[in-house]
Chains A and B, each alone.
Chain A
Amino acid sequence: MTLRAFLIVVIPLLSFATIILFGRLSRLRGICDRIAIAAIAISFILSYGIYRQAMSAYDMGEPFLHLTAAPFEWLTFDHPEAAGQQVSWKIGFWVDSMTAMMLMVVTIVSLLVHIFSLGYMKGEENYNRFFAYLSLFSFSMLLLVLTDNLIILYCCWELVGISSFLLIGFYVNRESAAAAAKKAFVTNRVGDLGFAIGLFLIYSHFHTFSFREVFERIQAGEMSSLKLTITSLFLFCGAVGKSAQFPLHIWLPDAMEGPTPVSALIHAATMVAAGVYMVARLYPVFTPDSLLVVAYLGTFTALMAATIAVTQFDIKRVLAYSTLSQLGYMDGRPGGGAFTASMFHLTTHAFFKALLFLCSGSVILALHHEQDMRRMGGLWKKTPITFLAMLTGCLAISGIPFFSGFYSKDMILAGALEFGMRHPQHMLLFLALLVTAGLTAFYMFRLLFMTFTGTPRDPHAYAHAHESPRNVTIPLLLLAFLSISAGWEHLGLGGFFKERVIPWGKPPVSAHHAGTPNPLFDAAYAQEPPATEGSGASATLSEGNTSPTGHGEEHDDLAHTAHVLATTLSVIGSIIAICLSALFYWERFRVVDPARAAAMFGRFYDLSYNKYYVDEFYDRTLFRGLEVVRNFLARFDLRIIDGIVNGTASGTVKTSRGSGRFDLSVVDRLVNWLAEVIQGYGQRIRRIESGVIQNYVLKAGGAFGVMVVLWFVMKSLWGGA
């Protein structure tokens, strides 16, 4: 299993390396695209094997779980507290049903996007490099899903970010693409800082990165609830960045500058969902309190993004805000056990959102790179396959029964309602999610009607429009099929997804082997974080819908009521929203002119159309502030710090000049003066030099006598003492 997991990850990496290093060789130049597709196809087949294994193990009631038995020791250090022990950074793979699920999502969407790109990217400059980047992304994303420790999770977190940077900036000579790429990476880094601090907190507390050890020790109560809450919120910052939740959501709409297949794969189906996956994977770290924060933030983002999507005209931007909104939805479900519904929605969303994006790509292709919906219309005749696929996607995301989105959305809404009924102060969450569901249906059908119905608003473009080639439409049809069936329980692909997803709420451990709890499994799947009943607010907040305590029946009743109510409300809401949308945007049924409606809402419309001016706000405050600070510091460095250095130097020079002048004018003059004085005396003394030898002898003798006397005097003075 370890080998298989290893191959799943490494083969796309090899494809990336091959294309980047040798893609220019004439022998490889023509087949780079096929190398990449082959790589992801192999990964898909291997993943499918793992998935089947996970299925059958699950059916037998085994908590399927594979951990690399002998992980690779990346680095080791001495344990700072326990002498003689080692801190080891072990790297291995972690395969369970959630991993298998994610593997399927990533490889299927990735494979289909690869195939779609054959047609969509045909003839683009740097065509080969595009496939190299896709391979790099697949590698990072698959490793992110398969890893068994936090440090590699963090590494992959950044690596998917850099793949995203490369792919958003793929049209490298387009100014806006370059700016968007940078913005995406840097905004993500803001979130990653929080992630990193969470990582530091975990490491400095547990001295390990391994999920297993961390979970086990958290379950053993080695970290206080408050500290866990803080740690998990820091970790969640990473998810806020990656999943583009408020307030770091600004990068995702701009990321639409990348080629459309990239938007489908990275910015809709997989990478952005990594944040949701992370919360699910690190579930034991999250406390009920932090999950509540997650839920509120997610719900807020869901609602905010939906209100923006309603007024946008760029087809890809509508989808981008829709993605934001749906990601918020995934995070939005509060309470214990949230991740079942979130992961389910992640799965269905991956398919239908990839489908919607690829459809929009097909539309854009048909219209020769026109993205403004105001210039589309009536396309269903020209591009029937795309239209049908898009319709499927819209129905799925709107939560119409029998389409996949219905099941997953239903689960989230039911959960939220149940939570709201249990804790009425949090009912707002459900209401906001319900409104979001309605808005979603409204703006998706707005998109559909504006694009495919009515009279073409740009006759010229319409005349040249054409259905996309087969390698574009086949992925669409496959994804359309998955968008319908991904939620079904017993039909077709029923066992494929639904069975996998639903039972996460009811782990087989408690169902089949209640007597022999597997600590590891409980840690990873515990519906309720390790809080005892009645231990204050945390315990009451956890939902405990699988708790084996006596409240079970009453609880099931409540859950059932919530479920029925939520389903009814959301379906009715969606249908009303679709009808409303038709009244606005389907020309045949038009009752209200959207322009007049916009004028009616005036200020709100402006706010929504301009995305609540969040970008502008950041520009004026953060970026302007940063600019001021950096320019100030650069000047400070040059003028003050370097000024002191240069000042010291020039001061020294001046001092030395001054001392030079002093030397010349004072010291030297003094010397000269002294010389003159001496010379003057010399002239006088000269007279002593008579030239007569007797005089000399007399003087010398006299001098000698004086010296002898002096010597004796001195000797007697000092010598005696």
Chain B
Amino acid sequence: MFSLTFLTFGPIIGAALVCLLKDDETIRRAALIISLVVLFPGIAMVLDYNDSFARAQASLTAEQAASGVFVYEEKIPWIEAFNINYHMGVDGLSMPFVFLAVFLCPLCVLASWGIREKVKGYMALFLLLEGAMIGVFAALDLFLFFVFWELMLLPMYFLIGIWGGPRRVYAAIKFVLYTLFGSIFLFIAMLVLYAKTGSFSLLELPQLMGGIQMTWAVKLALFIGLYVAFAIKIPAFPFHTWLPDAHVEAPTAISVILAGILLKMGAYGLFRISYPIFPDAAAWFCTPMAVIGLINIVYGALCAMAQSDLKKLVAYSSISHMGYVMLGMAVYREESLQGAVFQMFNHGTITAMLFLLVGVIYDRAHHREIDGFGGLVKPMPVYGGITALAFFAALGLPGLSGFISETLVFLGAFQEQRLITCLSTSGILLGAAYMLWTYQRVFMGPVNEKYAALPEISLREICTLAPLAVFVIVLGIFPSLFLNAIDPTMEHVLASLQKGREAYQATLQVAGALVP
């Protein structure tokens, strides 16, 4: 039952099945059912996760546990000549995102109900995308990871390029080429690692790296290459400009997936690949990373404030929110690391809500100009209320999940990077400013006569939003539900990072001036 293979290939097979169907309505329903069929095992796995993890931890020897504890593992040889395995499994780092993927997809199918053209192609590609995304988070073999990583691009390209807005082709090509550009570095790093160690296993590589000789310069080059590959996905300044374009052009559901899941892959890649394999280089990169986080937070917020397109504003707010993740990752404290992962998850739910909400208004008014509305609360009070909740969550209101993750990041980061953290707190001020300013312009003030008779949010749309709202509220009040589950894994990450920092400091003493 707890099969990651099922979660990954269920939707892919589903995509094939969808192709066999004829009627549009049937296709929509089939896609929804397929995504739900994947969702329920996903929920069961989350509920079971803590127990399974405890069992797995108990069954491993200390030596085995040193490479991390994983659950729901599946491992079969794939290409034996090159020691490539089909190795799936999750830990506290990936489980939240596997769950987020299976959880968001039904909502996105529901949000795509309004797609009228080429429904079959859309749903098939969407399900393919779902499978590939889950595969990225579940893969424990670098080669397999790379395969899913690339596989994901294909449906994304078409989903933006065919069903997108007016500049869809430009946005789609930009997105794909940008990611491919990063993939080159990932690919090179993968090959070099394989050449040195003869393994693609993400579990073995950290240990194997300890036994081989590699000059500091090569290490740094590989680390930075991997960083670029992942930074593009995060997206970290200055590799972020594909994001606003992709978001603005993509259909609502694809924006949701893009913000909710794809962006997480960048930070996840750093956590899963860069940090364990190059912990010493990671230690070298701490302060630059924190600075980039700061830039993301402040720069993203300021750019968001200057936007006139609602969707672009949300896109830039994403950049700002992902800055917290980077700041949290740059500091080796339990609070900040957990905060970073929690922020990734929360960003997934909160920004998903924001994009869905933008979609709701776009479907009605057919534009997204912030200044083109006004007083929308009057015709659409429920919509206004849900948007208020989402905006409050995005600006980090206590009681909602975003507050906890931001606070954790700050509390951890402050212990090491005082100045950068203090400067970053301006992000919560700017966040409040642009969120509330937007809310004021769109929802408050005199009613714009043109939109005085807009229909209220529909039940279907509420169904896409309500589950996310529940997560935002429940995790805001009981964050331990999430944080306790990821805690053992994060402790492991923290321990390996701290070892890396010691190694780095030792290198510093030995290498002296050689180190930049």
Q: Which residues of A does B touch, CB under 8 Å?
A: 20, 73-78, 80, 126, 151, 154-156, 158-159, 162, 165, 169, 172-175, 177-179, 181-182, 185-186, 189-190, 192-193, 196-197, 199-201, 203-204, 626, 629-631, 633-634, 637, 641-642, 644-645, 649
Give the residue name and chain of the A residue nearest to B299 (CB): A633
| Residues from 5 to 54 in B contacting A, C-beta threshold 8 Å | none
Give the residue name and chain of the B residue nearest to A634 (CB): B306
Give the residue name and chain of the A residue nearest to B334 (CB): A77
Tell me the bound Cα distance from A74 to B392 in angstroms: 21
CB neighbours (8 Å) of B425 from chain A are 193, 196-197
Given the known inter-chain contacts A74-B479, A193-B428, A641-B241, please indicate yes or no for A634 contacting B303, CB distance below 8 A.
yes
Given the known inter-chain contacts A20-B385, A162-B392, A179-B440, please indicate yes or no for A196 contacting B178, CB distance below 8 A.
no
| Residues from 350 to 386 in B contacting A, C-beta threshold 8 Å | 375, 377-378, 381, 385
CB neighbours (8 Å) of B299 from chain A are 633, 637
Given the known inter-chain contacts A186-B436, A196-B410, please indicate yes or no for A173 contacting B378, CB distance below 8 A.
yes
Give the residue name and chain of the A residue nearest to B427 (CB): A193
Q: Are the CB atoms of A186 and B422 closer together than 8 Å?
A: no
Q: Are the CB atoms of A633 and B302 closer together than 8 Å?
A: yes
Additional A-B contact list (12), CB under 8 Å, known A630-B302, A641-B240, A649-B174: A75-B404, A77-B334, A77-B338, A151-B407, A172-B377, A173-B377, A173-B447, A178-B440, A189-B433, A203-B411, A626-B302, A633-B302
Give the residue name and chain of the A residue nearest to B408 (CB): A75
Q: Are the CB atoms of A630 and B306 closer together than 8 Å?
A: yes
Question: A141 → chain B, closest Cβ, in Å?
Answer: 14
Tell me the bound Cα distance from A465 to B116 in angstroms: 61
- B413-429 toward A: CB 8 Å interface, digit per residue (1/0)? 01100000110011011
13 A-B contacts, Cβ less than 8 Å apart?
A74-B479, A77-B334, A77-B338, A80-B415, A159-B397, A173-B375, A173-B377, A173-B446, A192-B428, A200-B414, A637-B299, A645-B241, A645-B242
Given the known inter-chain contacts A80-B334, A645-B174, A645-B178, please indicate yes or no for A172 contacting B443, CB distance below 8 A.
yes
Interface centre among B338, B385, B436, B443 (most CB of A within 10 A): B436
Contact of A630 among B177, B237, B305 (CB under 8 A): B305
Provide the main secondary structure of the chain B interface: helix
Tell me the bound Cα distance from A105 to B440 in angstroms: 33
Tell me the bound Cα distance from A277 to B177 in angstroms: 57
Interface centre among A78, A172, A193 (most CB of B within 10 A): A172
CB neighbours (8 Å) of B242 from chain A are 645
Is B198 at the interface (CB under 8 A from chain A)? no
Q: Are the CB atoms of A185 and B436 closer together than 8 Å?
A: yes
CB neighbours (8 Å) of A80 from chain B are 333-334, 415
Give the residue name and chain of the B residue nearest to A638 (CB): B241
Tell me the bound Cα distance from A197 to B411 in angstroms: 9
CB neighbours (8 Å) of A74 from chain B are 479-480
CB neighbours (8 Å) of A641 from chain B are 237-238, 240-241
CB neighbours (8 Å) of B414 from chain A are 197, 200-201, 203-204
CB neighbours (8 Å) of A204 from chain B are 411, 414-415
CB neighbours (8 Å) of B165 from chain A are none
Q: Are the CB atoms of A172 and B378 closer together than 8 Å?
A: yes
Contact of A165 among B303, B429, B436 (CB under 8 A): B436
- B439-474 toward A: CB 8 Å interface, digit per residue (1/0)? 110011111000000000000000000000000000
Give the residue name and chain of the A residue nearest to B382 (CB): A24
Q: Are the CB atoms of A182 and B428 closer together than 8 Å?
A: no
- B392-410 toward A: CB 8 Å interface, digit per residue (1/0)? 1000011100011001001
Contact of B429 among A172, A193, A200, A637 (CB under 8 A): A193
Question: B427 → chain A, closest Cβ, in Å?
Answer: 10
CB neighbours (8 Å) of A162 from chain B are 392, 397
Q: Are the CB atoms of A75 and B483 closer together than 8 Å?
A: yes
Q: Which residues of B does A touch, CB under 8 Å?
A: 174, 177-178, 237-238, 240-242, 299, 302-303, 305-307, 333-335, 338, 375, 377-378, 381, 385, 392, 397-399, 403-404, 407, 410-411, 414-415, 421-422, 425-426, 428-429, 432-433, 436-437, 439-440, 443-447, 479-480, 483, 491
Question: B377 → chain A, closest Cβ, in Å?
Answer: 5
CB neighbours (8 Å) of B178 from chain A are 645
Q: Are the CB atoms of B306 and A178 closer together than 8 Å?
A: no
Tell me the bound Cα distance from A75 to B177 in angstroms: 42
CB neighbours (8 Å) of A196 from chain B are 407, 410, 425, 428
Interface centre among A197, A630, A631 (most CB of B within 10 A): A630
Q: Are the CB atoms of B303 and A633 closer together than 8 Å?
A: yes
CB neighbours (8 Å) of A630 from chain B are 302-303, 305-306
Tell me the bound Cα distance from A430 to B306 in angstroms: 47
CB neighbours (8 Å) of B480 from chain A are 73-76
Question: A653 → chain B, closest Cβ, in Å?
Answer: 11
Question: A691 → chain B, closest Cβ, in Å?
Answer: 54
Given the known inter-chain contacts A75-B479, A633-B302, A634-B306, please indicate yes or no for A155 contacting B398, CB distance below 8 A.
yes
CB neighbours (8 Å) of A174 from chain B are 445-446
Tell me the bound Cα distance from A177 to B440 in angstroms: 10
Q: Are the CB atoms of B241 and A637 closer together than 8 Å?
A: yes
Q: Are the CB atoms of A637 and B303 closer together than 8 Å?
A: yes
Tell me the bound Cα distance from A634 to B316 in angstroms: 10
CB neighbours (8 Å) of B422 from chain A are 197
Give the residue name and chain of the A residue nearest to B429 (CB): A189
Question: B217 → chain A, closest Cβ, in Å?
Answer: 26
Tell me the bound Cα distance from A179 to B446 in angstroms: 12
Tell me the bound Cα distance from A177 to B443 in angstroms: 12
Tell me the bound Cα distance from A173 to B381 in angstroms: 12
CB neighbours (8 Å) of A200 from chain B are 410-411, 414, 421
Tell me the bound Cα distance from A172 to B378 in angstroms: 8
CB neighbours (8 Å) of B237 from chain A are 641
Tell me the bound Cα distance from A193 to B396 in angstroms: 12
Q: Are the CB atoms of B177 and A649 closer together than 8 Å?
A: yes
Tell me the bound Cα distance from A196 to B424 in angstroms: 12
Tell me the bound Cα distance from A215 to B47 in angstroms: 40
Question: A133 → chain B, closest Cβ, in Å?
Answer: 11
Q: Are the CB atoms of A193 and B307 closer together than 8 Å?
A: no
Tell me the bound Cα distance from A193 to B240 in angstroms: 27
CB neighbours (8 Å) of B385 from chain A are 20
Tell me the bound Cα distance from A634 to B299 in angstroms: 9
The 9 A-B pairs with the shortest beta carbon distances in the complex, nearest first, are: A155-B398, A178-B444, A634-B306, A642-B241, A200-B414, A630-B306, A182-B436, A630-B302, A178-B440
Given the known inter-chain contacts A197-B425, A204-B411, A630-B303, please indicate yes or no for A159 contacting B399, CB distance below 8 A.
yes
Tell me the bound Cα distance from A70 to B333 in angstroms: 27
